[in-house]
């Protein structure tokens, strides 16, 4: 539904975005990650048709956004900008109504009511936007971005300034939008949040560093590491013996840790039962076996800087 093809954006001598290519399908949440100044907002602005790329193109259902198609295609895009940008002297309802009209909604009143009720702002419809809290302003900006029920949704830091409950509401909203077949791009620093909802993520730092499903990226960076926690007493077998057993059963990079051992498996789904059987036969008292899932933050840090310690949070592979 939405495609960025070899996007380049230069501002004078500075290159903000360099050769970024990805596609977002209908019914997909796509996370755009990167450090400050990496070009996330610039990429979103190009995707939303706000600024033209220096090279490359953005396509919505195969149609390139250009000065001719821009107004028509922007009507299919809902864009939450970095700052809410509300007209503070106007009422909550008026802020939405103006956008509903600009997007060509036929039933403005209905659209405004639906939108405000969805974000629990209906009771505040008559208040000036200036009177809302930061979180409510963000909700109003979200309501405004989605008032025309767009096919493509671009969200720049959607949970900035939001409390945990409202952040959760936004996640639920993203899941709902995905269920209704929308193509959603979310730029965020909140890796925990994006990991919960994104089908795929792209890491950009001017250039595209990596793109893929979070689990695939994790596996690519850290492999799939199986952790085996042992109970006290292993039928006389030492942990070192058990590590050797695991190695013979096909495990790689077997390491000892405080609770037992961990190892990398090429195909954990197939190999795990055999490893566990071999360890039990060798006398191991196994307390727990689980896939080690380093957080997306570790993947992010490793991708941005391969020299970064691989497990700042202590959840990565043992050393």
Partner 1 sequence: MSGRRIRTLVAKELKEFRSNPAAVLPVVVLVVMCVALPFFVLIVIPRVTGESLATDRTIRGIVAVAARTQPHLALLPPGTAAEAFLFQQFLLLFLVAPIVGAVSLAAYSVVGEKQGRTLEPLLTTPITTAELLIAKVLASFLPSLVVEAAGLVAYVALVAAFGEPGTAPALLSARSIVMVGLVGPLASLAALQMTIAISSRVNDPRSAQQIAVLLVLPLVVLLVGQVAGAFIVTTPILLLISAALAALWLALIVFSAALFQRETILTRWR
Check binding of 10 to partner 1 (CB under 8 A): no
Choosing from 27, 35, 52, 312, the residue that interacts with partner 1 (CB under 8 A) is 52
CA distance 32 to 24: 11
Check binding of 273 to partner 1 (CB under 8 A): no
CB of 151 within 8 A of CB of 173?
no
Residue 224: count other Cβ atoms within 10 Å of its Cβ: 19
Choosing from 21, 63, 71, 274, the residue that interacts with partner 1 (CB under 8 A) is 71
Query: Shortest gap between Cβ of 165 and partner 1 (angstroms)?
Result: 25
Of 28-36, 79-87, 176-184, 228-236, the window that binds partner 1 (rule: CB under 8 A) is 79-87
Give the CA radius of gyration of the chain: 24
Query: Shortest gap between Cβ of 74 and partner 1 (angstroms)?
Result: 5
CB of 18 within 8 A of CB of 34?
no
Return the structure tokens found at 234. Answer: 């292993």
Report how far apart the first and last C-alpha atoms of the chain are (Å, whole number).
Answer: 43
List CB contacts of 14: < 8 A, sequence separation 6 or more.
Answer: none
- Give the residue with the Cβ less far from partner 1, 142 or 261: 142
Check binding of 124 to partner 1 (CB under 8 A): no
CA distance 251 to 168: 39
Report the DSSP beta bridge partners of residue 256.
Answer: 261
* Cα–Cα separations (whole angstroms), residue 6 to 19, 31, 53, 59, 208: 4, 18, 9, 11, 10
Query: Shortest gap between Cβ of 9 and partner 1 (angstroms)?
Result: 9
Check binding of 103 to partner 1 (CB under 8 A): yes
Q: How many residues bind partner 1 (CB under 8 A)?
A: 36
- Give the residue with the Cβ less far from partner 1, 79 or 222: 79
* Cα–Cα separations (whole angstroms), residue 292 to 211, 227, 256, 309: 21, 6, 14, 17
Choosing from 25, 101, 180, 248, the residue that interacts with partner 1 (CB under 8 A) is 101
Backbone torsions φ then ψ of 187, nearest 5 degrees: -100, 130
Query: Shortest gap between Cβ of 19 and partner 1 (angstroms)?
Result: 19
Query: Shortest gap between Cβ of 24 and partner 1 (angstroms)?
Result: 17
CB of 118 within 8 A of CB of 143?
yes
Check binding of 86 to partner 1 (CB under 8 A): yes
- Give the residue with the Cβ less far from partner 1, 90 or 289: 90
Check binding of 119 to partner 1 (CB under 8 A): no
Return the structure tokens found at 306. Answer: 């391969």
Query: Shortest gap between Cβ of 213 and partner 1 (angstroms)?
Result: 29
Backbone torsions φ then ψ of 174, nearest 5 degrees: -60, -40
List CB contacts of 189: < 8 A, sequence separation 6 or more.
Answer: 33, 157
Check binding of 79 to partner 1 (CB under 8 A): yes
Query: Shortest gap between Cβ of 25 and partner 1 (angstroms)?
Result: 22
- Give the residue with the Cβ less far from partner 1, 71 or 273: 71
Helix (H) or strand (E) holding 196: helix 191-197
Choosing from 6, 10, 25, 72, the residue that interacts with partner 1 (CB under 8 A) is 72
Choosing from 1, 18, 30, 74, the residue that interacts with partner 1 (CB under 8 A) is 74
Choosing from 17, 132, 141, 230, the residue that interacts with partner 1 (CB under 8 A) is 141
Check binding of 128 to partner 1 (CB under 8 A): yes
For partner 1, the binding residues (CB under 8 A) are 11, 42, 45, 48, 50-52, 70-72, 74-75, 77-79, 81-90, 94, 98-99, 101-104, 128, 141, 144-145
């Amino acid at each position: 539904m939405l495609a960025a093809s070899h996007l380049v954006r230069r501002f004078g001598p500075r290159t903000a975005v360099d050769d970024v290519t990805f596609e977002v399908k209908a019914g997909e949440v796509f996370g755009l990650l990167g450090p400050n100044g990496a070009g996330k907002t610039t990429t979103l602005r190009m995707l939303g048709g706000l600024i033209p790329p220096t090279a490359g193109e953005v396509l919505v259902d195969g149609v390139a956004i250009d000065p001719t198609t821009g107004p028509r295609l922007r009507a299919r895009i809902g864009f939450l900008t970095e700052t809410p940008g509300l007209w503070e002297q106007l009422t909550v309802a008026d802020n939405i109504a103006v956008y509903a009209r600009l997007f060509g909604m036929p039933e403005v009143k209905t659209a405004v009511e639906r939108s405000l009720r969805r974000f629990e702002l209906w009771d505040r419809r008559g208040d000036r936007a200036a009177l809302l809290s930061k979180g409510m302003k963000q909700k109003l900006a979200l309501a405004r971005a989605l008032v025309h029920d767009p096919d493509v949704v671009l969200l720049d830091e959607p949970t900035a300034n939001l409390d945990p409950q409202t952040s959760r509401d936004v996640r639920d909203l993203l899941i709902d939008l995905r269920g209704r077949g929308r193509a959603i791009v979310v730029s965020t620093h909140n890796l925990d949040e994006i990991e919960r909802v994104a089908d795929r993520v792209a890491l950009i730092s001017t250039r595209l560093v990596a793109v893929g499903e979070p689990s695939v990226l994790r596996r690519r960076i850290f492999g799939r590491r199986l952790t085996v926690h042992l109970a006290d007493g292993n039928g006389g077998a030492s942990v070192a013996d058990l590590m050797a057993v695991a190695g013979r059963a096909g495990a790689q990079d077997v390491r000892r840790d405080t609770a037992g051992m961990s190892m990398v498996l090429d195909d954990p789904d197939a190999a795990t039962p055999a490893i566990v059987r071999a360890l039990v036969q060798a006398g191991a008292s196994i307390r727990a076996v689980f896939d080690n899932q380093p957080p997306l933050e570790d993947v992010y840090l490793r991708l941005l800087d391969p020299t970064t310690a691989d497990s700042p949070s202590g959840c990565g592979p043992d050393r």
